[in-house]
Amino acid sequence: MIYTVTFNPAIDYVVRMDGDLLPGMTNRSSSEEYYFGGKGINVSMVLSELGLKSTALGFIAGFTGNAINDGVKAAGIETDFIELKEGLSRINVKLKGTEETEINAQGPKIDEDSQIALYNKLSKLVEGDVLILAGSIPNSLPDDVYEKILSMLAGKGIEFVVDATKDLLTNVLKYHPFLIKPNNFELGEIVGKILTTDDEIYEGAKKLQEMGARNVLISMAGNGAMLVDESGKRYRIGVPKGKVRNSVGAGDSMVAGFVAGYMKSNDYETALKMGTAAGSATAFSDGLAKAADIEELYKGL
């Protein structure tokens, strides 16, 4: 079974306008949409589109949390969220006019008992399971929560996928995650230099492998992506043609596509192509990628 963890789920409320946002004045929308999100949930949603079941874990609170739980279940995804005693799950406002403006809420406080409840759920994972940890963590959680989780599960034959930045990522490399996915700028921050060429990005990825990572997938926005697999082999891919409409969830979709591609084929080149297709399909859509769009883009890579 695949498990995703979203520490701070949200309802993303997307407001579209035909012009500029005018501060201090009444603005009128041209349309509105809402999505149930958070990086782990995004991964589960795209995995479902690609035919893979997963269980979404994390924390929810209040009536907004209940809406998130119901919405994710309605998408055909199993949920096992922990309901917090106080607070409300976030509503993030995405204003899309001539420019994009985002207002991301802080989210509820995660108490110690709820943290322990999550650890107890994760302790039941068994050999062959896949655990996907994605994104930043709320300030009510300890800075080393990723490290605690991987330490607790190390040696059980569980495959870890980690999409995080800086110390949150580097501190778990000693547990040999199956896949990590920094972008080229995040990779440069970790290794302490600006990476401008493929060779420099490859050398940066190799440094993370020396620290314990097995497969390193580096996303580079419009410049495509690079995979350095656990044997040290380098794969490079461009991006399909299309109009970028949405940046939210593209990286999560790439993670989902890669995991689905590898689990179906046991081939890294196929996984890279599927990850690229899924990430691009989300970028070219108003919401998360749909299976038909992913398949169409995959054929063109």
Closest C-alpha to 45, from 294, 300, 226:
294
- Establish whether 198 is a catalytic residue: no
Q: How far apart are CA 70 and CA 63, in angstroms?
A: 11
Residue from 12, 163, 229, 252 carrying the catalytic annotation: 252
Question: What's the number of CA atoms in the CB half-sphere (13 Å) around residue 215?
Answer: 20
Amino acid identity for residue 122 in this structure: L
- ∠ CA 67-73-74, nearest 5°, is 85
Could you give phi then psi for residue 244, rounded to 5 degrees? -75, 120
Closest C-alpha to 52, from 209, 211, 285, 278:
278
Closest C-alpha to 130, from 153, 151, 147, 152:
153
Q: Which two tokens stand for residue 77?
A: 């995804």
Beta strand pairing call for 179-180 and 159-163: parallel
CA distances to 100, 266, 283 from 247, rounded to whole Å, are 10, 28, 5
The catalytic residues are: 252
